[in-house]
Structure 1
Amino acid sequence: MSSLQKTIMKNKLPPKMPRTSGISKLAPFGGSRRKDYSPISWKNYFEKYLDVEIEAGVFRVYLSPEPEHPEQPRIVTLHGGGYSGLSWALFTEEITRLIHCQVVSMDIRGHGETKAKDSDDLSIDTLVNDVAQVLLKLFDTEMPPIILLGHSMGGAVAVRASHLPSLEPYVQGVAVIDVVEGTAMEALASMQSFLRSRPTHFNSIEHAIEWCVRSGQVRNVESARVSMPSQIVNCATGELATNEIEHYQSAPPSPLLPNTRGVRADVIAEEGEGGDADAGAGHGEGDSFAKPPPAQAGAMRWRVCWPPSRFVTGSRRPRPAGSRCNWGPHPAAESRTCRRASHHLSLTLTPTTDYTQEHFKIARC
């Protein structure tokens, strides 16, 4: 680009705004303003839930109000690995405000409140069959027009489910989010370090929500407040945290963290908090988030656990004798190439476009 072109383009830009220290007026000692990390009930976003019983188990389905006319569509949302149907809570609130439809958000087996007979079986064929059976049971003989919307793992399920003979006549559209193969393959190299860096437990529901936001896993605080409780369980009772919200007592707030980074005045914060921007995955506040102390009574742990040491890495070397890694059913699985092993992994965490029909299971704690 010539100097003349640079000058012309620069003249079209607005003037640069001065940098600020990023210190909020509401935090006079230089600390970041404290957000509300208390959990929110799913009832603020969905009208009801149904526990749909099929041969494979009992599946939790959250429903927004039914549309006025039966020909209006149902949007079936399928969450990603480790999440739950409540990950779509804010989407449900927004889409039902814009159009006349009903959102059907289900917990995939092994996640949320769903209780399947074999929660470890997360093969693509099993997940697709679950979705079909739940929808057929839910709507019985009056299947309405449906739009399948899937994120990550749910995107792989949505694509497959749309071609089932039992659903295809009713599928009006398919939308997938975050299922780009190139991005997924690049992310696999850092997957084990990411899993190792996750806290194994939290002292309270609020601490879990706070970690979720400040580590960059979820940028929207409200979304984290409604969805994170469905991803953790009480260590003592084994109950999902969503069941404790009705009678939940807030935990003591975390201390204010010093804001050590400057914030540009010409950048809008993710949550409209002025100098306190939580945008950015794994940067800023998340870097200084303290690791929780040892678990106490009533502490929370993950509903779904993926021990990084159990993942297939694609090595051609045989697995050690007695290895607890249960990825891949075939005896020769350890001799597969890195690309094949990566497809097994990415189908669960961030699905690829090259979907395999081979059976696999996810290691769980």
Structure 2
Amino acid sequence: MSDLQKTFAKSRLAKLPPEVPVNYDPSDKMNPEAYNEHPEDDSSSASSTSSTGTIVPSTSQKLFERGSGARSRLNFAATPWEDYFETELFLEDDVDDLRIIHHVYLSSPSGSGPLFVTHHGAGSSGLSFATCAAEIRRSLPDAGVLSIDARDHGLTTTQNADKTQQAKLDLTLGTLSRDFVYIINKTKEKMKWTSVPPLVLVGHSLGGAVVTDVAKGGELGSNVLAYAVLDVVEANSLPSYLSKILGSAIDALQTMETYLSMRPASFPSLASGIEWHTRSRTIRNTSSARASVQGLLREEPQAEGSDTVGAWKWRTDLASTKPFWENWFTGLSKKFLEARGGKLLLLAGTDRLDKELIIGQMQGKYQLQVFPEAGHFIHEDQPVKTAQILVDFYKRNDRSALILPPKVSEMLASKNGAQKWGLK
């Protein structure tokens, strides 16, 4: 290449825009794009897809090796829960021989606003809905959000009445549903509300099975306006990033140990745990990971006399929940279609629909929304979109917005009304 050609090429390259980092994480949280690493209108083949785009790293990959350029400057520090909720509550519960302290995050509704009650998936915590909760209140300021830590998850603790014995793990669907109803009623009592606000129940994965079971059981009565289930159906109850590896349907749950064996047992710091969730694309949104991962991990104290720093380990032992996996999802599709109230199903891909749900969707029994650009954690990967859909879903099911015709008794009680209708 001649000197003239080199000079011309350099001048052209200098005019090109700078390269945007792959995992750009804006610090301005008022900007909706701060919650989305990929633009929401990106339809290119390079975008995240529900299944094939998810990477499950092997143990040999150097996920904590410092990169170069903009990637190494990403902020993986945890953000405080106070950025997303108004308060936290610890609700005491004595049941059978157990002493349970339920932990929840709460932003109270105002006026006649609804209360979105969220239940996370297995191994997760109430902070899984942190960024989505903030977006719900941004879109609907009168709304409240109650995000729970399920039994033996997050900061919820379970202790045997006999403190010398360890409490037996009980995560059956019936137990989790009972806890869910108790927490709502206890929150009403703790906050001194005159009545339970209009409820929109939202559950992700395992949480979807819980809210469906509660809606079907009817213990909350007419307070439940509607319920939403995020990325779980009976015929393919595995997260998207597992289904391609382990297969589909309930039978595949028995091989979940394969995934657990690939996951790090601990992390040297909380920031490294956040980084792993982001770079492995378990959570595809850095802002969401910074809010939620702290609910998944706890710091183990440094061993006495040891110079090594304490490790951050998982709060919930997912392997120990194996006896409950089939119980969670059996009969889910049928219950989802039969329970009273508005129904919303959010999926990361239509390949998760089973025959019952396909027929129900064709009959208009529920609303279906597909997020092909998101992974299993739809509400974390796309909190702005998820929140807007949930708010619109509430508005369609808001009974206070309905204008009903007057009752016959009311017309008879009104002289003018009776004359108008020719009854006098």
TM-score bin, normalised by smaller chain: 0.5 to 0.7
The answer for the alignment partner of 1:287 in structure 2 is none
Q: Which residue of 2 aligns with 1:167?
A: 220
Map residues 167-186 of structure 1 onto 2, 5 A cutoff: 167-184=220-237, 186=247
One-letter code aligned to 2:131: L
2:45 corresponds to 1:33: no
Q: Hey, what does 1:244 align to over in structure 2? A: none
Q: 1:155, CA displacement in angstroms? A: 0.5
Q: How far 1:119 sits from its partner (Å)?
A: 6.5
Query: Which of residues 343, 347, 350 is equivalent to 2:326?
Result: 343
1:127 corresponds to 2:176: yes
TM-score, normalised via structure 1 length:
0.60
Deviation sequence 1:156-212 (CA, Å, 0-9, x none): 110111233430221011100111223326343662221100000100000100001
2:184 counterpart letter in structure 1: L
Which digits, 9 at most, give the CA deviation of each residue in 1:17-41, with x for residues without a partner? Answer: xxxxxx94789x9756221101110
Secondary structure, counterpart of 1:52 in structure 2: strand
CA distance in 2, matches of 1:155, 1:237: 37
What SS class does the counterpart of residue 82 from structure 2 fall into? helix
The match for 1:47 is 86
| Alignment-derived partner of residue 214 in structure 1 | 279
For residue 258 of structure 2, the aligned residue among 193, 210, 220 is 193
Task: Name the CA shift for 1:169/1:36 in 2 (closer, same or farther; >3 Å).
Answer: same
- Give SS of 1:175's match: strand
CA distance in 2, matches of 1:90, 1:112: 17
Residue 301 (structure 1) aligned to one of 313, 317, 335: 313
Residue 121 of structure 2 is matched in structure 1 by: 80
The AA in structure 2 aligned to 1:156 is A
SS of corresponding position for 1:179 = coil
Q: Structure 2, unaligned stretches of length 5 or more?
A: 1-17, 23-66, 160-166, 239-246, 336-424
- Higher helix proportion: 2
Report the alpha carbon displacement of residue 217 of structure 1 after superposing the two structures with TM.
Answer: 0.8
Q: Which amino acid aligns with 2:119?
A: L
In the aligned structure 2, how far is the partner of 1:102 from the partner of 1:26? 35
Task: Write out per-residue CA displacement over residues 73-122 of structure 1, whole angstroms, 9 at most, x where no aligned residue.
Answer: 10000000000000000101111011120000010001000012346200
Report 1:171-320 matches (<5 A).
171-184=224-237, 186-187=247-248, 188=252, 191-236=256-301, 296-307=308-319
Structure 1 consecutive aligned stretches of length 4 or more whose deviation exceeds 4 Å: 23-27, 29-32
Residue by residue, what CA displacement relative to the aligned partner does 1:205-242 show, whole Å, maximum 9, x if unpaired? 0010000111111001011111101111111179xxxx
C-alpha distance after superposition, 1:246-272 (max 9, x if no partner): xxxxxxxxxxxxxxxxxxxxxxxxxxx
Alignment of 1:150-165 (within 5 A): 150-165=203-218
Contact 1:73/1:145 (<8 A) preserved: yes
Q: CA RMSD in A?
A: 2.9
Question: For 1:163 and 1:195, how far apart are their aligned partners in 2?
Answer: 32
- CA separation of 1:135 and 1:119: change in aligned 2, threshold 3 A: farther
Whether contact under 8 Å (1:234, 1:299) holds in the other structure is: yes
Change in Cα spacing, 1:203 to 1:77, as seen in structure 2 (3 Å) is same
Equivalent in the alignment of 1:61: 104
The count of corresponding residues between Structure 1 and Structure 2 is 242
Change (3 A) 1:81 1:354: farther
Contact 1:203–1:296 (CA<8 Å) still a contact in 2? no
1:147 counterpart = 2:200: yes
Q: 1-side partners of 2:293 and 2:226: how far apart? A: 29
Q: TM-score when scaled to structure 2?
A: 0.52
